[in-house]
């Protein structure tokens, strides 16, 4: 194989910059792996390391600061056969921290090269997430305040199955890179190097001392046994392959003609756990079975297991325009929470409106015709009350018929659930 | 007549699959979450990819990567997520990356009200990219539009290599309606034009006489380059003002000069109408009722429902402004699109009516406003 370096665009880093050594090392590694350029994508972000993709004859994806891993993830999931190599600096590591952690957890077969030179080179030597507290940077004393990040330790804790740390200028760099790229899962290499343009101007760091520091960090490098597991894309496609086919939306045929002559707005007022939303759906399916147009909105607090639960349903012979509730034709009240939430509506109702309610509930003053149901006496459970109330509405016959309600139930339930629901309805209709 | 009963969000998900979407990534956020939940049902069984990003920035980033590999991709969120998408939206524009972005709007500002609707992000979608480049924004009115406009959105993204927004609203996304999916006239799904084998292979070089470059997929036989930085046709950073300007103007023109080809709207009016009502989104529904009520009372009122909001379909709007003596713009916000109408209306007085309290504007509100 031949070099994948782009001869028309030689590296343009400051003399002595560690990045240049990594460019050569990566090229050697790709040569060792005998990878043609069109099977490799180099994904980079912002900063001096962001120039990386321009030096290679490979696919190249250069994006926003810290976000390289996000593009690499989508690319790899779309093309699992492609070698995806992400290059970023310690700046990208800091700003894109959530993506680094998530990549460790995800274990998609991407190789992340962190070109760690302990400061922001391109913008003038400000401190980064890896700057030692003793370092001198153009961020004044600020780096003294924040502990430097040991990304290798963090990556292991976050589940990365392959972690390595090495010197940019080390002779084995290409081998380290080739091993990481070869690894069939997420691999991260923390590559330490000098930034003569900024960092070493202010700080007396030597390569020997950095090597010493790496040794002292006594990191076990390479595969992390405890974190090794199935690669994400392979795992995803394995599970996706056995995922059940998505269900088609319900198909409702018209079986009879609904009794309503004009638009009817309906409010179902209850509390959490009373299947108010389901009842709204059943009412809509019933309406559709009667040839009506329908719409439904639900109103409930974010704490879904507590508080009011309200369904707003509109039934009309014409396509429904406004989906809000005007003056409701029917209001079903099965819990005080729902009634309290819509207390203003009751005063607006005339005798043309029907209210069907739990006999034990007290309502605000209303001009509507009110039917009480003795749920306690009938021993109808709280979760079945709204359905029982709909049965009473069907019995009255102005909004929907029994036939429509039964059809609505058949679209929503089957088996034992259907039998139970029909039993509740039958008790109140007859 | 066989009808289904689905919400706008489900219609968007099903429309996306009908359009050929193979990749979805999102982050849960009310009122957009059910789009993600639906995509999770729809994509994996057919070999498509559905992912939950660690945040919104990651979710849209995944989509950009997948789209560059050639897959049709979509993401969905609400206002707070659009805020986080912003840098990546700018990238999709500048890098000419096809992507459908759904904003199921909630009442703002900020985290606002998760379960209340509004159309408060309209100008944000238009201008929420660094650089202020034009974007395409489509606004559905109902569940049917959610399905059909999503297919249109994919087609436009593929045709013009750009992000396309669907400006939905909690009041559409989470409202269920009956819809006859089988009788819809579905737009033919389009795919991006591949780079011909004998063509330069410069990723941002359009074919002669064209404004949109043919697509070179990342991972294809020929090398592709993508960059968020200002670049020449070769995809390498350029500092040459002439090169920069040519690229920027081409990206502007590819949308501004073609909006006539994708101006989606409904117009209900007669030659003698003197009042023009302009609406979009869920408010259009109450406006239809209001127009009927106004006409019954003898008012000469026409209704223009815009579904392509951006680029502003100026020709269409001008044509319908012609001959009117008064314009009323109604929006579920404090007055955003009215600015576009005002600048096109010339001497015709434009009045705005809007509200941002989480409640739908109803027909009585509109009738009163037109009468006053
Ligand atoms: S500023 Fe530092 S990182 Fe950037 S090129 Fe110069 S030496 Fe390298």
Q: DSSP letter string over B285-301?
A: HHHHHHHHHHHHTT--E
Domain with A220 in it? 18-241
CATH code at position A325: 3.40.920.10
Is A429 in a helix, a strand, or coil?
helix
| Residues A317, A185 share a domain | no
Q: How many CB atoms lie within 10 A of CB A160?
A: 26
| Residues A227, A346 share a domain | no
- Provide the Cα torsion B156, B158, B161, B166; round to 10°: 40
Number of structural domains found in chain A? 2
Searching chain A, which residue's CA lies closest to the CA of residue B1?
A253
Residue that terminates a domain, selected from A191, A208, A241: A241
| Residues A300, A237 share a domain | no
Ligand 1 lined by A255 (C-beta under 6 Å): no
**What's the confidence (pLDDT) of residue A301?**
86
| Residues A99, A180 share a domain | yes
pLDDT 10s digits, A188-225: 999 999 999 999 999 999 999 999 999 998 788 999 99
Nearest-angstrom CA–CA distance, A162 and A224: 5
| Residues A270, A362 share a domain | yes
| Residues A288, A234 share a domain | no
**What's the confidence (pLDDT) of residue B274?**
98
Please judge whether A251 and B362 are an interchain contact, meaning their C-beta atoms are less than 8 angstroms apart. no
Beta strands in chain B (DSSP E): 2-7, 23-26, 49-52, 73-77, 99-105, 136-138, 163-169, 176-179, 225-227, 265-268, 275-279, 301-306, 308-310, 326-331, 350-354
Asked, for residue A13, whether it belongs to a domain, the answer is no
Asked, for residue A119, whether it belongs to a domain, the answer is yes
| Residues A297, A148 share a domain | no
Q: How many CB atoms lie within 10 A of CB B278?
A: 27
What distance in angstroms lies between residue A90's CA and the mean position of ligand 1's atoms? 12
Give me Rg for the CA atoms of chain A: 34
pLDDT 10s digits, B119-176: 999 999 999 999 999 999 999 999 999 999 999 999 999 999 999 999 999 999 999 9
Q: How confident is the model at residue B1 (pLDDT cuts 50, 70, 90)?
A: confident
Residue that terminates a domain, selected from A241, A276, A303: A241
pLDDT 10s digits, B3-52: 999 999 999 999 999 999 999 999 999 999 999 999 999 999 999 999 99
Mean pLDDT of A368-390: 96
| Residues A274, A167 share a domain | no
Distance in Å, alpha carbon of A211 to nearest chain B alpha carbon? 34
| Residues A213, A125 share a domain | yes
Please judge whether A74 and B69 are an interchain contact, meaning their C-beta atoms are less than 8 angstroms apart. yes
Please judge whether A98 and B54 are an interchain contact, meaning their C-beta atoms are less than 8 angstroms apart. yes
> Contact at 8 Å (CB) between A269 and A334?
yes
pLDDT 10s digits, A4-44: 999 999 999 999 999 999 999 999 999 999 999 999 999 99
Distance in Å, alpha carbon of A170 to nearest chain B alpha carbon? 30
ipTM of the prediction: 0.97
B293 contact A CB<8A = no
Nearest-angstrom CA–CA distance, B53 and B31: 17
Mean pLDDT of A291-300: 96
Asked, for residue A101, whether it belongs to a domain, the answer is yes
| Residues A346, A291 share a domain | yes
Q: How confident is the model at residue A1 (pLDDT cuts 50, 70, 90)?
A: low
Mutation target for B interface from A87, A310, A322: give the one with most B CBs within 10 A.
Answer: A322
Partners of B288 on chain A (C-beta within 8 Å) are 321
Q: Is the dihedral of CA A228, A231, A235, A238 positive or negative?
A: negative
Asked, for residue A360, whether it belongs to a domain, the answer is yes
Asked, for residue A7, whether it belongs to a domain, the answer is no
What distance in angstroms lies between residue B266's CA and the mean position of ligand 1's atoms? 57
Asked, for residue A349, whether it belongs to a domain, the answer is yes
| Cα-Cα end-to-end distance for chain A | 85
Mean confidence (pLDDT) of chain B: 97
Mean pLDDT of A87-97: 97
> Does the pLDDT at position A261 exceed 70?
yes
Please judge whether A102 and B58 are an interchain contact, meaning their C-beta atoms are less than 8 angstroms apart. yes
- β-sheet bridge partners, residue A114: A88, A190
What distance in angstroms lies between residue B331's CA and the mean position of ligand 1's atoms? 52
Q: How confident is the model at residue B200 (pLDDT cuts 50, 70, 90)?
A: confident
| Residues A182, A285 share a domain | no
Cis peptide before B219 (omega within 30 of 0): no
| Residues A312, A225 share a domain | no
Residue that terminates a domain, selected from A241, A256, A289: A241
Q: How confident is the model at residue B314 (pLDDT cuts 50, 70, 90)?
A: very high
Asked, for residue A5, whether it belongs to a domain, the answer is no
CATH code at position A160: 3.40.50.970
Instruction: Set out the domains of chain B in order of their start, with CATH numbers.
Output: 4-183 (3.40.50.970), 264-371 (3.40.50.920)
What distance in angstroms lies between residue B34's CA and the mean position of ligand 1's atoms? 46
> Contact at 8 Å (CB) between B175 and B8?
yes
Q: How confident is the model at residue B322 (pLDDT cuts 50, 70, 90)?
A: very high
Which of A123, A197, A201 is the pocket-test mutation for ligand 1 (most atoms within 8 Å of CB)?
A: A197
């Amino acid at each position: 194989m031949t070099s994948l370096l782009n001869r028309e665009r030689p590296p343009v880093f400051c003399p002595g910059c560690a990045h240049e050594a990594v460019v050569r090392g990566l090229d050697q590694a790709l040569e060792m792996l005998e990878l043609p350029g069109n099977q490799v994508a180099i994904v980079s972000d912002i900063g001096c390391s962001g120039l990386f993709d321009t030096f290679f004859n490979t696919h190249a994806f250069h994006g926003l600061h810290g976000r390289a891993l996000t593009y690499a993830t989508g690319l790899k999931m779309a093309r699992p056969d492609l070698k995806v190599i992400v290059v970023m600096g310690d700046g990208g590591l800091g700003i894109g921290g959530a993506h680094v952690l998530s990549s460790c957890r995800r274990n998609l077969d991407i190789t992340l090269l962190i070109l760690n030179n302990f400061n922001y080179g391109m913008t003038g030597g400000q401190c980064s997430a890896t700057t030692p507290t003793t370092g001198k940077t153009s961020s004044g004393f600020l780096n003294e305040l924040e502990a430097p990040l040991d990304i290798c330790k963090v990556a292991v804790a976050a589940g990365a199955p392959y972690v390595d740390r090495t010197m940019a200028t080390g002779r084995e760099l290409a081998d380290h890179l080739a091993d990481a790229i070869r690894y069939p899962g997420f691999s991260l290499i923390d590559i330490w190097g000098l930034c003569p343009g900024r960092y070493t101007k202010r700080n007396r760091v030597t390569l020997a001392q950095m090597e010493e520091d790496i040794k002292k960090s006594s990191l076990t490098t390479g595969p992390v046994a405890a974190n090794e597991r199935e690669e994400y894309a392979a795992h995803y496609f394995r599970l996706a392959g056995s995922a059940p086919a998505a269900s088609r939306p319900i198909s409702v045929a018209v079986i009879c003609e609904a009794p309503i002559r004009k638009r009817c707005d309906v409010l179902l007022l209850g509390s959490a756990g009373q299947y108010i939303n389901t009842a709204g759906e059943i009412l809509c399916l019933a309406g559709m079975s009667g040839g009506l147009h329908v719409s439904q909105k639900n109103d409930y607090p974010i704490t879904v297991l507590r508080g009011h639960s309200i369904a707003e349903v509109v039934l009309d012979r014409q396509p429904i325009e406004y989906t809000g509730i005007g003056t409701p034709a029917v209001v079903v009240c099965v819990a005080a929470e729902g009634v309290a939430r819509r207390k203003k509506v009751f005063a607006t109702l005339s005798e043309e409106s029907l209210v069907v309610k739990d006999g034990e509930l007290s309502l605000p003053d209303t001009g509507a015709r009110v039917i009480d149901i003795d749920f306690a006496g009938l021993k109808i459970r709280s979760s079945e009350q709204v359905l029982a109330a709909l049965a009473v509405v069907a019995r009255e016959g102005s909004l929907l018929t029994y036939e429509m309600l039964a059809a609505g139930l058949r679209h929503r339930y089957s088996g034992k659930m259907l039998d139970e629901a029909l039993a509740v309805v039958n008790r109140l209709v007859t | 007549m066989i009808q289904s009963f689905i919400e706008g969000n489900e219609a968007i998900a099903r429309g996306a699959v009908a359009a050929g979407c193979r990749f979805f990534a999102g982050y849960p956020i009310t009122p957009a979450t059910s789009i993600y939940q639906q995509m999770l049902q729809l994509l994996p069984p057919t070999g498509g990819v559905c992912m939950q990003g660690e945040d919104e920035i990651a979710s849209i980033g995944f989509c950009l990567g997948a789209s560059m590999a050639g897959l049709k991709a979509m993401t969905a969120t609400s206002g707070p997520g659009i805020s986080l998408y912003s840098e990546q939206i700018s990238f999709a524009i500048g890098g000419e990356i096809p992507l459908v972005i759904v904003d199921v709007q909630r009442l703002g500002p900020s985290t606002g009200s998760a379960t209340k609707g509004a159309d408060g992000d309209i100008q944000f979608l238009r201008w929420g990219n660094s650089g202020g480049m034009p974007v395409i924004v489509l606004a559905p009115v109902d569940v049917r539009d959610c399905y059909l406009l999503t297919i249109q959105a994919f087609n436009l993204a593929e045709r013009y290599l750009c992000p396309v927004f669907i400006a939905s609203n909690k009041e559409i996304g989470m409202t269920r309606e009956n819809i006859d999916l089988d009788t819809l006239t579905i737009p033919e799904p389009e795919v991006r034009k591949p780079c011909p084998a004998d063509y330069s292979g410069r990723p941002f070089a359009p074919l002669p006489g064209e404004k949109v470059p043919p697509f070179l997929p990342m991972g294809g036989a020929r090398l592709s380059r993508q960059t968020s930085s200002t670049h020449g046709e070769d995809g390498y950073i350029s500092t040459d003002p002439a090169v920069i300007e040519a690229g920027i103007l081409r990206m502007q023109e590819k949308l501004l000069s073609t909006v006539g080809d994708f101006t989606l709207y409904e117009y209900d009016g007669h030659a003698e109408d003197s009042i023009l009502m302009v609406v979009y989104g869920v408010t259009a529904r109450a406006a239809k009722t209001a127009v009927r009520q106004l006409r019954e009372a003898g008012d000469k009122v026409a209704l223009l429902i815009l579904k392509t909001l951006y680029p502003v379909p100026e020709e269409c709007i001008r044509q319908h402004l012609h001959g009117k003596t008064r314009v009323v713009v109604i929006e579920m916000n404090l007055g955003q699109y009215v600015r576009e109408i005002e600048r096109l209306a010339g001497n015709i007085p434009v009045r705005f009516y809007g509200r941002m309290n989480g409640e739908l504007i109803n027909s009585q509100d509109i009738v009163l406003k037109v009468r006053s």
